Amino acid sequence: MARTGANVQTDVDRILEAIVYLYTESRRVTKESARAHGLTGPQVTALKILEGFGTLSLSELGARMSAKSSTVTGLVDRMERDGLVRRRRSPDDRRVIHLEPTPAGAALAASIPVTAMEVFQGALTSLSKDDRAELTRILSILAERVRVEIDRRENLGD
């Protein structure tokens, strides 16, 4: 274990801790902003995605939100209940359900600024330009590596 030295583990810990913190806070901030409009965080996320695409299937929405289909079902149930979106069965493929915002949902989406992450924007702009670019670059690499690693494991494990 720890072939590469103990300080790697320290970095892992620090990075993980920072990521967890940043994620938690980003969700909290989003939630707070959503709340001001009578919505929840995921609902705003979904509405904003729909606003961009107009119509999406449940699975497409789920993919863009990194959520499983059963989660999306529940989310959409509540959004439909609250008159934000409408389900419509696809004529092409009867398994598929298309989702579109209602006028009310669309209006609400438009009224919510994308600045749910103002806090991050503030923090990120306070970084130097170089640091920001570096962060983007390295995080992208990291995400890609993790993706690959997970794929590898799944193909081994099963």
User: Which residues contact DNA (rule: CB under 7 A)?
Assistant: 24, 28, 40-43, 57-59, 62, 65-78, 87, 93-98
93: left (phi over 0), alpha (psi -120 to 50) or beta: beta
DSSP 37-74: TT--HHHHHHHHHHHHHS-EEHHHHHHHHT--HHHHHH
In the complex, the smallest distance separating the C-beta of residue 89 from DNA, rounded to whole angstroms, is 9
3-state helix, strand, coil in the chain (%, to 5): 70, 10, 20
Residue 30 or 79: the one with the smaller Cβ distance to a copy of itself is: 30
Considering the complex, what minimum distance in angstroms separates the CB of residue 146 from DNA? 15
Q: Does 155 participate in binding a copy of itself (rule CB under 8 A)?
A: no
Interface contacts to a copy of itself, rule CB under 8 A: 1, 4, 8-9, 11-12, 14-16, 18-26, 29, 66, 113, 115, 117, 119-127, 131-136, 138-143, 145-146, 149-150, 153
